[in-house]
Structure 1
C-alpha cells in the first residue's frame, strides 16, 4: 500500500487537501494530511517557539505513526513551504521514504531558510533586512503581528502564487481558514545531512504559476549547475495546467498525478550535453555574411561594409541564465546570426551580455542594457538618433523601461518569443518590469513582436495579456507569427516558415530605422 503524507504551504492547514485526499483514499491509498503546529485554523494562532524544527517534528510524528509492514511505501508530498519540513523529516527518516514529491515547490538546500523561497520579493527583502538586524527576535511587529506573518486578504493570494482555476467558494474558504505563519518557520535555516539524497523524487509543476517541464529543460540545457541533479533517472516530472493550488483547482487531476508519481512514472530530463550540440548552440537558420566584430567590455559591434554613421540594432538576450554558462549569450549562434544579418543590411548589429542570473536581477540587467545602449550611441560610427532595441525570451520584461518612456532616438522596439509580464512564481507583483502594463505609455513607438505558435503556455499567456493591453490603448504593434515555431525556433525549427518570419521581422525593424 502507498501511504501519502501531505504537507501544505504557508498560512494553510490540512483542510486544503480534503478533496485530493479523498480521491487518493478511493484509489486504495492510505492518506495523512499533516496539521502543522500553528497552522490548524483561524483560532489556532501561531505562538512563540514555533519554528521549522517544530514543523519537521510534526511530519516525523506522522511518519513514525505509520506501520513498517512490508509493502507500505511512504510518499512525502510538500507543497510550497511544506517542502522544507518534508525534506527535514526525510533527512531523518530516509530509510522509511519511498519518494518525495515537490508540489509546485522550490529546491531547498542545506543551510538556506524558507525565506529564500518567498515569492514576494519586496516582502522577502523586508524580512531579510529585519532578520539581519536582530534575528527572529528583531522581527516583532512585521506586518503588524508579533512573531507572525499575517495571512493574505482574499485579493492578496496572488502574491503567494497564481490562483488560476481555484473556484470562488474555495478561495473564500482558503481565506477564512488561513492562519498566521510563524516567522521563525521562514527564518530558521534548513539543516540537511544528505541522508535522503538517494530517495527518488518527483516534481509536479503548475503551468499557471509560471513553471513547466520545457522551461526547466531549457535551463538544464544551458548548463545551470543548480539543476543538473534533476537529470538523475530517479527524478521524474509532471505538469498541471493550473495555478499554484492544484489541490483546490483540480484535485482529481492532482490525485492521479500523485498516484502515477508513486508508481515511478513521469517525464525524465535530458542531461546538459545529451543533445549534440545543445539547442542554444546549434547553427542559426540563415546564411549570414561574415562581418567584422569589435568587442568592448560586455558589448560586441558587428559593422557594415559601408560608410557610416549607421543606424544600430541592439539585440538583448533572455534569461535568467547561470553566471557560469559558457559560451555567454553574445557568442551564441542565434544572437551572432541576427547581428551579422543586420550588419549585412547596412546597420550596426550589437550584442551584449547582461547579468540576468536570477529573477531578482532585473534591475541590474536593465542597467546593463541601458549602459550598453549609451555606449553604442556614443560611438561616432553610429547614428545616435536611429536605434532599435530587439529583446528575446526572458529579456522581455526589460522592454517595460523603454515602452514606458520611449526616447526620440528609439525608432523601433522588437521582441521575439518574449515574456511580456512577470510570471506568477517570480514574485514581482507591482514591479516596474511589466510590459503589458507599460505599453499604454508607448505612444507612437513601433513594436514588432514575433510570436511562436508552439510557445510554452505560461509564456504565451503573457504575450496575449500584452496584445490585449496594446489593443486597448491603440499601440502600434505588428505581429509576425511563426505558427509551427517553438521558443527558440531559430535553432530548434530551421524551416522555411521560420526563415521567412526572421526575414519579415528584420525588414520591418529596418524599415522603421531608415524611415
Structure 2
C-alpha cells in the first residue's frame, strides 16, 4: 500500500486535502494530510521556522512508521517537502510537487520569488511576523467557485513569516529524487526556470492540470487520479 503524506501551502491546514484524501483511501491507499506548526489548529504566537516544518513532515513519517511514502507538497510546502524527501531515506517512493516552489540549498521562499519578495516581507512586518492570508478577490481566475473561495478564506490562518525567509538546507541535488511536478495551467502556463531545469533529470516527470493554483479545491478528483497514476507510472 502506498502511503501519501499531503502538505498544503501557505495559510492552509490538513483540512484542505479532505476530498483528495477520501479518493486516495477509496482507491485502497493510505493518505495522511498534515497541518504544519503555526497553522490552522496548530496556530500559535511564538515564531516557527522553516526547519520546524521540515521536521513536522519527517516526524510524522517516522512516528507513523510509514513505508512506500509519496510526499506531496503544494505551493510553499514544496520547500519543506523537498527537504523532508531526502531525509526519510528509503521510506520515500516519490515526491510530488503540486504547482509548488522547490527548495534550493541556501535559498528561501522569498529569494525564489523576487517579484513578490517586497510584498511578502511588508505583510510579515505589518502583521507581527505572519504573512496575511489572501482576500477573496485575490483568488479570482483560478478555476474556483464562489463557494470554494469562501471555504478557503474562512479556513485560512496567517502563515509564520520565518518559514518564508529562512534558507533551505539540501544535502544532495534535488534532481536525484524520483519526482513528479504538477503544473496548474491557469496560474501560469510554464514551469518556473528552476523547475524547468529539474525536469531535465531522468527521475522527474511533468504533468499538466488545466486548473488554478489550488487544485485540491477546484479539481480534487482529478488531482487524486494524477497522484495515483504517479505511483503506478513512475
3-state SS of paired residue (1:208): coil
3-state SS of paired residue (1:203): strand
The aligned runs of 1:403-442 (5 Å cut-off) are none
Residue 38 (structure 1) aligned with residue 31 (structure 2): no
The aligned runs of 1:260-275 (5 Å cut-off) are 260-265=229-234
Shift of 1:196: 5.8
Query: For residues 195 and 207 of structure 2, what CA distance do their matches in structure 1 show?
Result: 20
| Deviation >4 Å, runs of 4+ | none
Task: Flag the structure with larger Rg.
Answer: 1
Shift of 1:127: 4.8
2:78 is matched with which residue? 83
3-state SS of paired residue (1:116): coil
Find 2:46's aligned residue among 45, 48, 51: 48
2:93 is matched with which residue? 98
Query: For residues 38 and 162 of structure 2, what CA distance do their matches in structure 1 show?
Result: 12
Give the 3 Å change call, closer, same or farther, for CA 126–254 of structure 1 in structure 2: closer
The aligned runs of 1:361-380 (5 Å cut-off) are none
Q: Which runs of 5+ in 1 are unaligned?
A: 131-138, 266-515
Q: Per-residue displacement from partner, 1:73-94 (whole Å, max 9, x unpaired)?
A: 1000100001111012122213
1:231 is matched with which residue? 200
8 Å CA contact 1:94, 1:199 repeated in 2: no
Shift of 1:46: 4.3
3-state SS of paired residue (1:151): coil
8 Å CA contact 2:36, 2:56 repeated in 1: yes
2:118 is matched with which residue? 125
8 Å CA contact 1:102, 1:203 repeated in 2: yes
Q: Per-residue displacement from partner, 1:315-370 (whole Å, max 9, x unpaired)?
A: xxxxxxxxxxxxxxxxxxxxxxxxxxxxxxxxxxxxxxxxxxxxxxxxxxxxxxxx
Residue 156 (structure 1) aligned with residue 138 (structure 2): yes
8 Å CA contact 2:110, 2:164 repeated in 1: yes
Task: Give the structure, 1 or 2, with the largest relative contact order (CA under 8 Å, sep 6 or more).
Answer: 2
Shift of 1:108: 2.3
Query: For residues 46 and 116 of structure 1, what CA distance do their matches in structure 2 show?
Result: 25
Find 2:161's aligned residue among 183, 187, 193: 183
3-state SS of paired residue (2:224): helix
1:294 is matched with which residue? none
1:25 is matched with which residue? 25
2:185 is matched with which residue? 207
3-state SS of paired residue (1:115): coil
Query: For residues 168 and 18 of structure 1, what CA distance do their matches in structure 2 show?
Result: 18
Give the 3 Å change call, closer, same or farther, for CA 77–246 of structure 1 in structure 2: same
Query: For residues 227 and 40 of structure 1, what CA distance do their matches in structure 2 show?
Result: 32
3-state SS of paired residue (1:236): strand
Find 1:255's aligned residue among 210, 219, 224: 224
8 Å CA contact 1:32, 1:62 repeated in 2: no
Query: For residues 150 and 228 of structure 1, what CA distance do their matches in structure 2 show?
Result: 31
Shift of 1:118: 4.5
Residue 115 (structure 1) aligned with residue 114 (structure 2): no
Query: For residues 226 and 153 of structure 1, what CA distance do their matches in structure 2 show?
Result: 28
1:198 is matched with which residue? 176
Give the 3 Å change call, closer, same or farther, for CA 37–229 of structure 1 in structure 2: closer
Superposition TM-score, scaled by structure 1 size:
0.43
Give the 3 Å change call, closer, same or farther, for CA 231–195 of structure 1 in structure 2: closer
Shift of 1:228: 3.9
- Please identify, of 110-119 and 254-263, the stretch whose mean Cα deviation from structure 2 is larger: 110-119
Give the 3 Å change call, closer, same or farther, for CA 9–229 of structure 1 in structure 2: closer
The aligned runs of 1:62-81 (5 Å cut-off) are 62-67=60-65, 72-81=67-76
Q: Which runs of 5+ in 2 are unaligned?
A: none
8 Å CA contact 1:151, 1:180 repeated in 2: yes
Superposition TM-score, scaled by structure 2 size:
0.90
Shift of 1:261: 0.8
Query: For residues 171 and 186 of structure 1, what CA distance do their matches in structure 2 show?
Result: 24
